[in-house]
């Protein structure tokens, strides 16, 4: 057999042999038709061998009257060719059979992948749908109807048996968890337990997840297992990391996640490594009970509430400038995101973005989301995280969400709760100054950075604020600009009102 026989068919089958269902490739119509053409060519060659052999036989018969009695022989019942021609016939016949089987195997494998999608995803994912032919989509719909009909036929107590729900049971139905605060007596399927702070115990996964949404338990493995189980079923997981004391700005992130994701996970963790000893880590506002109620109001599916994310280290000792913990025993690995972590907030808080990038990396590795949502009030942070994800090859979509504001324009922040009444009354000058700068830039065109930042700074100082920085920057690279550029520049501000540091920004 020629080395090239059936090669196209084998290559065609290899395209689908080991791919997961959601990665089903586009139907290779060209290769499929090439195999059909090869079969036709082999069939023609096979017929040619038969015809040549029979023609020679007829010629020999005419030369020998002794063979006249065989004039009525059926050529389909006898072989008149040479041994070499017999071998040739066998080669072509085998090649035809093999090519046909390769086409059938290719078609069956694609239908098997579609069938698996029905069991694991319930639908053909959008990224796969473009690769599926109309005939295959028809097969999927008909198979889905048959499966649904069968599941309805198993109705017990008014509910059919969903055979596609979690077909792979967990390795262990129990997980170990730790109670973060006194919660009182709770009844589980195997009895009642007094959940007191610090208690470590084993619970059924389903019961642990229910309590996790109430903010009672901490378990990295449970969080990771929960996210993986949802993603393995074809669900898109959205993640909103927070430091708690939730406000409408946080809720807008959760709503944005809900709009584009099937599962929404929030975390609450006040990260010590982005604070210095002179800052407000110890007094950062907290209200877990209200936070949980707010999460439920926007249909958040799960809350990750760790007590610490730093191995063998107390959070208080992780505040920058606190007494150092020996690297041999404490946390000693950090993430630093190049030049985007310089300037702006980093000028007065050089420790800040190392802490942010490190804790976000840890959270991404625990939650393993498909998308993560960040508010653009912390614009530099949003850009730093976007670069981190790009550079470290996280398969996560970073979504920036517009700033939510109070009625007077002040950017919503958990720190607003720390403002004194007098400072709160004047803090909206930040937003007002930004609006005036934007309007002036729109009206006059290019304006020098010095002119814009000086005017804003004077307005803030007049209201009793202290400027940390006011910078006109390129909105993508965050490099300083000499003058405004419509659609390409951004004014970023950090200012103190009393002891509270507030951030805001606006694109020009």
Residues assigned a catalytic role: 250
CB < 8 Å & 24+ apart, contacts of 146-155: 147/118
| DSSP count for the chain of H helices, then E strands | 15, 13
C-beta neighbour count of 254 within 10 angstroms:
24
Phi, psi of 156 (to 5 degrees): -135, 120
Please check whether residue 493 is in contact with residue 355, taking contact to mean a CB–CB distance below 8 angstroms: no
Count of other CB atoms within 10 angstroms of residue 261: 22
Note whether 482 and 449 are within 8 A (CB): yes
Instruction: Judge residue 375's burial from the number of C-beta atoms within 10 Å of its C-beta, 0-12 exposed, 13-18 middle, 19 or more buried.
Output: buried
CA atoms within 13 A on the CB side of 473: 21
Mark out the alpha helices in 233-308 (DSSP H runs).
248-260, 288-297
128 with 24: CB under 8 angstroms?
A: yes
Helix (H, G, I), strand (E, B) or coil at 375: strand
- Are 280 and 418 in contact by the 8 Å Cβ rule? The answer is yes
SS3 35: helix
Give the rounded distance of the alpha carbon of 460 from its chain centre: 41
Q: Are 498 and 352 in contact (CB under 8 A)?
A: no
Reading phi first (left if > 0) and then psi (alpha if -120 to 50, else beta), residue 357 is in alpha
Q: 430 near 493, Cβ under 8 Å?
A: yes
Any bridge partners for residue 401, and if so which? 375
Query: What φ, ψ does residue 491 adopt, rounded to 5°?
Result: -100, 125
Half-sphere exposure of 318 (CA within 13 A, CB side): 25
Rounded to whole angstroms, how far apart are CA atoms 418 and 193?
38
Report the half-sphere exposure of 307 (CA within 13 A, side-chain side). 15
């Amino acid at each position: 057999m020629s080395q090239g026989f059936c090669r196209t068919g084998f290559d065609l089958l290899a395209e689908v042999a080991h791919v997961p269902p959601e990665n089903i490739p586009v139907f290779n119509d060209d290769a499929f038709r090439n195999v059909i053409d090869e079969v036709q060519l082999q069939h023609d060659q096979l017929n040619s061998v038969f015809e040549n052999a029979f023609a020679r036989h007829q010629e020999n018969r005419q030369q020998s009257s002794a063979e006249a009695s065989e004039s009525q022989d059926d050529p389909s019942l006898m072989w008149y060719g040479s041994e070499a021609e017999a071998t040739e016939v066998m080669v072509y016949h085998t090649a035809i059979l093999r090519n046909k089987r390769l086409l059938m195997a290719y078609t069956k494998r694609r239908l098997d992948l579609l069938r698996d999608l029905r069991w694991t995803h319930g639908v053909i994912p959008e990224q796969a749908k473009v690769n599926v032919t109309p005939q295959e989509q028809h097969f999927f719909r008909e198979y889905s109807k048959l499966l649904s009909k069968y599941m309805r036929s198993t109705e017990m107590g008014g509910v059919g048996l969903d055979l596609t729900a979690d077909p792979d049971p967990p390795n262990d139905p129990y997980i170990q968890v730790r109670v973060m605060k006194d919660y009182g007596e709770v009844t589980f399927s195997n009895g009642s337990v007094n959940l007191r702070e610090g208690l470590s115990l084993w619970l059924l996964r389903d019961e642990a997840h229910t309590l996790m949404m109430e903010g009672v338990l901490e378990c990295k493995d449970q969080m990771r297992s929960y996210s993986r189980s949802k993603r393995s079923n074809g669900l898109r997981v959205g993640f909103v990391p927070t430091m708690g004391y939730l406000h409408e700005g946080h809720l807008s992130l959760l709503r944005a996640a809900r709009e584009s994701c099937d599962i929404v996970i929030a975390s609450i963790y006040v990260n010590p490594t982005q604070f210095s000893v002179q800052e407000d880590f110890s007094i950062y506002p907290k209200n877990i009970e209200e936070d949980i109620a707010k999460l439920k109001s926007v249909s958040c599916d799960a809350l990750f509430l760790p007590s610490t994310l730093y191995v063998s280290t107390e959070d208080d000792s992780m505040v920058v400038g606190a007494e150092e913990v020996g690297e041999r025993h404490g946390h000693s690995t950090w993430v630093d995101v190049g030049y985007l972590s310089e300037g702006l907030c980093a000028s007065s808080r050089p420790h800040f973005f190392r802490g942010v990038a490190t804790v976000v990396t840890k959270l991404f590795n625990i939650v393993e989301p498909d998308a993560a949502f960040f508010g653009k009030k912390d614009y530099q942070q949003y850009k730093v995280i976007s670069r981190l994800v790009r550079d470290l090859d996280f398969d996560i979509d970073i979504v920036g969400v517009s700033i939510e504001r109070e009625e007077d324009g002040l950017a919503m922040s958990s720190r607003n709760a720390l403002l004194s009444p007098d400072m709160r009354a004047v803090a909206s000058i930040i937003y007002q100054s930004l609006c005036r700068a934007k309007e002036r830039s729109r009206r006059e065109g290019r304006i020098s950075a010095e002119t814009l930042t000086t005017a804003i700074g004077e307005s803030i100082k007049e209201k009793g604020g202290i400027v940390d920085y006011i910078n006109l920057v390129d909105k993508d690279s965050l490099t300083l600009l000499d003058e405004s550029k419509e659609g390409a520049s951004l004014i970023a501000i950090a200012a103190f009102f009393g002891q509270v540091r507030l951030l805001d920004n606006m694109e020009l």
